[in-house]
Amino acid sequence: MQIVSISSLKGGVGKSSVVLGLASAALEARVPALVVDLDPHGDASTALGVHARAGQDVGSVLRRPRKGALAAVAAPSPWTRHPITPEVSGTQQDPGWQPAGSPAVGRPVLDVAPGSAASSHLDHAAFRTKDLKRLETVLHGLERYELVLIDCPPTLSALTRMAWAASHMVLSVAEPSLFSVAGTKRTMSALAQFETSRIWAVPDAGVVVNRFRDGSDEQHHRLRELQELFGQLVVDPVLPDAPVVQQAQGAAWPVHRWPGTAASDLAGRFSSILQGMLH
């Protein structure tokens, strides 16, 4: 099981969008995946069509962590029941898709441990050493998943640190802009400091460049700056600033099943990033 934290210490860079794109890629590749929404706002959960119920969310489980307890709140995303595109009628469906209520034979696995304000009690800078093992404990033994994607809050809080502590890889999301480059430097520096303070280290890290506009000289400059700062840690390909991202998210639809060439290009980029993560 590969556990990957999607992080940024600067808000508004599209962190949750990257989580959703990678979840879509995993669904398309039929990689059994779990999205853990640690952000108290729960945006990734909403876009994946899963809403937290009282006591059935990540924050509630983390209050009293027990091995494997996250399985009790993980719910299947309706994305696994979507037809190929929004235009497909009920008779023209993906062979792997079944109507709601039918047996889930052959259906790919994409589950969500939903986020909510219940996580806020851990969204602060102060923490005890044993707090860092909370997420690792509740993920223990969930062997039905090959991939776990953790949507971290955009702060260096106890939630973010416990996500890093549980992860095999941390991906920092950056926009090619002045403030986002500075935020990425803070994220990667904090990750390096975090590793030196623990007996277990995050084995791998990367920088995902999001919302890139190819026609902008300024963004090309900032992309080169990121590449100079982080070298091979900058993930290839970059993700474009495309309206289709908001369109698919607004419809709570996986980008791999959204029509059009822009969606197809974006989906291919996410699939390439996913392949690099898993190999």
Q: Which pLDDT score, from 0 to 100, does residue 9 have?
A: 87
Nearest to 41, CA basis, from 55, 57, 25, 56: 57
Q: Which pLDDT score, from 0 to 100, does residue 221 have?
A: 96
CB atoms within 10 A of CB 101: 6
Q: Which pLDDT score, from 0 to 100, does residue 19 have?
A: 98
User: What pTM was estimated for this model as a whole?
Assistant: 0.90
Alpha-carbon distance 251 to 100, whole Å? 18
Q: Which pLDDT score, from 0 to 100, does residue 53 have?
A: 84
**Neighbour order of strands in the sheet with 33-37:** 75-76, 110-113, 33-37, 147-151, 2-7, 169-174, 204-209
Nearest to 175, CA basis, from 124, 96, 119, 241: 241
Q: With contact defined as beta carbons under 8 Å apart, do 119 and 39 qualify?
A: yes
Q: With contact defined as beta carbons under 8 Å apart, do 110 and 79 qualify?
A: yes
Alpha-carbon distance 255 to 267, whole Å? 6
Q: In this structure, which amino acid lies at residue 46?
A: T
Q: Which pLDDT score, from 0 to 100, does residue 106 have?
A: 65
Mean pLDDT per block of 10 residues along the chain (279 residues) reads: 93 93 96 96 93 88 93 94 61 40 62 91 82 93 95 92 94 93 90 73 90 96 95 96 94 93 97 93
Nearest to 142, CA basis, from 232, 235, 240, 33: 33
Alpha-carbon distance 242 to 273, whole Å? 17
Q: Which pLDDT score, from 0 to 100, does residue 98 have?
A: 40
